[in-house]
C-alpha cells in the first residue's frame, strides 16, 4: 500500500511538473527524493596545471536558495561553467537529481533540461519589447524562429503574465527592453529564464551595478523564487547576501572552505582570514 501511494504521489508530481515545464526533456528522470537537486562530487578543473576547482564537493537541496561567496579566483564562475556544461572537469561527478549525469549532456541539453543560467551582463533583445523578450524566451536555447511565427497558446500567455508579475515589469510590458534601467533589464533576463520554468537557476552577481532600491527589489525577487525553484547565487555584495542567505558556502582555492548560516561563516576565522578580512 505504501509503495502504491508513493507511485501515485510520483505521478501527481510529474503532472504538476509537466504543466510547469513544458520544455523539459528529461523531467521524469529528475529524482530529488533524497533532498539534493545538484550533486558535485570531487570535481577538479585544471587550466594549464592550475586547479581552478580542486576536488570540490557541494550539494544543493531541492528548493533551496544558496549563496556562494569567496574571493576573486576562488572558482565560483568555473563551478557554474561545469554545472552548465560549458567546462568539462578533469575528474569528479556532477548530477542533476540522483539520476541525471550532467557530464553526459551538452550545454543545450542542460539548458533545455531545466538548468537556467543568468550571466552578469544582461543579454536582453534591446529593440524588442518586454513582452516580446518573454515570448522569445519561450523557445529557449533553440527554436527562436518557430516561436516568432507561432501563435501563443492561452497557457503561454498566462505564463507570460505570471512571469511579468513575478519580475514586477507589468507597467513596462510594451516598452522596448533597451530603454529599461539596468536593474529592470536584469529582472527581465531573470524573467526570460523563468519562461523555461527551470528547476535550478544559477545567478552570477545579480546586483552588481544596481541602485540600493534595485538591490532590495532583487533580494525580494530571488527570495520569492526559492521553493518553486532551486537557486544558486554568486555575489560579492555581502549586505545583499546577508539579506537573502539561508545557507552560505564559502569557496576558496577551488574547494569549500566553510558552509553554514551567514553568522557562522562570517565568524569562522578561516573565512575572516581569506575573505572578509581583505
Q: Which residues of 199-214 are buried (b: 16+ CB within 10 A; e: fewer)?
A: bbbbbbbbbeebeeeb
Binding of ligand ADP by 70 (CB under 6 A): yes
What separation in angstroms does the CA of 18 have from each of 103, 180, 226? 24, 33, 19
**Applying CB under 6 A, which part among 66-74, 120-128, 213-221, 256-264 lies near ligand ADP?**
66-74
Residue 52 within binding range of ligand ADP, rule CB under 6 A: yes
The site string for Mg ion over 50-89 (x = CB under 5 A, - otherwise) reads --------------------------xx------------
- Choose the stretch contacting ligand ADP; rule: CB under 6 A; options: 2-10, 30-38, 75-83, 99-107: 75-83
CB of 214 to Mg ion, least distance (A): 21
Q: What is the rounded CA–CA span in Å between residue 137 and residue 40?
A: 28
113 scored as a contact of ligand ADP (CB under 6 A): no
Computed from CA positions of residues 127, 163, 186, 120, in that sequence, does the dihedral angle turn out positive or negative? negative
Tell me whether residue 24 or residue 82 sits nearer to ligand ADP (CB atom). 82
Min. distance of Cβ 242 from ligand ADP in angstroms? 19
CA distance readout (Å), 56 to 45, 78, 81, 91: 9, 11, 14, 10
Question: CA 163 → CA 30, 131, 137, 138, 147, distances in Å?
Answer: 24, 10, 11, 12, 18
**Residue 72 contact among ligand ADP, Mg ion, none, beta carbon within 5 to 8 Å by kind:** ligand ADP
Q: Cα(60)–Cα(245) distance, rounded to whole angstroms?
A: 14
Q: Would you count residue 74 as binding ligand ADP (CB under 6 A)?
A: yes
Site for ligand ADP, rule CB under 6 A: 47, 52, 70, 72-78
Q: What is the binding site for Mg ion (CB under 5 A)?
A: 76-77
Amino acid at each position: 500500500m505504501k509503495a502504491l501511494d508513493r507511485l501515485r504521489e510520483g505521478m501527481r508530481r510529474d503532472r504538476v511538473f509537466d504543466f510547469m515545464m513544458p520544455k523539459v526533456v528529461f523531467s521524469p528522470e529528475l529524482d530529488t527524493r533524497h533532498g539534493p537537486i545538484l550533486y558535485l562530487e570531487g570535481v577538479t578543473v585544471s587550466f594549464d596545471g592550475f586547479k581552478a576547482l580542486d576536488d570540490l564537493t557541494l550539494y544543493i537541496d531541492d528548493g533551496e536558495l544558496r549563496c556562494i561567496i569567496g574571493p576573486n579566483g576562488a572558482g565560483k564562475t568555473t563551478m557554474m561553467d561545469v554545472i552548465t556544461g560549458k567546462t568539462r572537469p578533469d575528474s569528479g561527478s556532477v548530477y542533476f537529481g540522483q539520476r541525471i549525469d550532467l557530464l553526459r549532456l551538452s550545454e543545450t541539453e542542460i539548458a533545455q533540461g531545466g538548468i537556467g543560467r543568468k550571466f552578469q551582463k544582461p543579454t536582453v533583445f534591446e529593440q524588442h519589447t518586454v513582452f516580446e523578450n518573454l515570448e522569445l524566451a519561450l523557445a529557449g536555447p533553440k527554436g527562436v524562429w518557430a516561436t516568432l511565427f507561432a501563435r501563443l497558446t492561452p497557457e503561454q500567455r498566462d505564463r507570460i503574465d505570471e512571469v511579468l508579475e513575478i519580475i514586477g515589469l507589468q507597467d513596462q510590458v510594451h516598452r522596448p527592453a533597451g530603454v529599461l534601467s539596468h536593474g529592470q533589464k536584469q529582472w527581465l533576463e531573470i524573467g526570460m529564464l523563468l519562461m523555461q520554468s527551470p528547476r535550478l537557476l544559477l545567478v552570477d552577481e545579480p546586483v552588481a551595478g544596481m541602485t540600493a532600491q534595485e538591490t532590495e527589489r532583487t533580494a525580494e525577487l530571488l527570495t520569492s523564487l526559492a521553493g518553486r525553484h532551486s537557486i544558486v547565487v554568486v555575489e560579492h555584495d555581502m549586505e545583499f547576501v546577508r539579506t537573502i542567505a539561508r545557507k552560505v558556502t564559502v569557496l576558496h582555492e577551488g574547494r569549500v572552505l566553510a558552509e553554514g548560516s551567514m553568522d557562522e561563516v562570517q565568524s569562522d576565522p578561516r573565512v575572516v582570514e581569506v575573505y572578509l578580512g581583505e
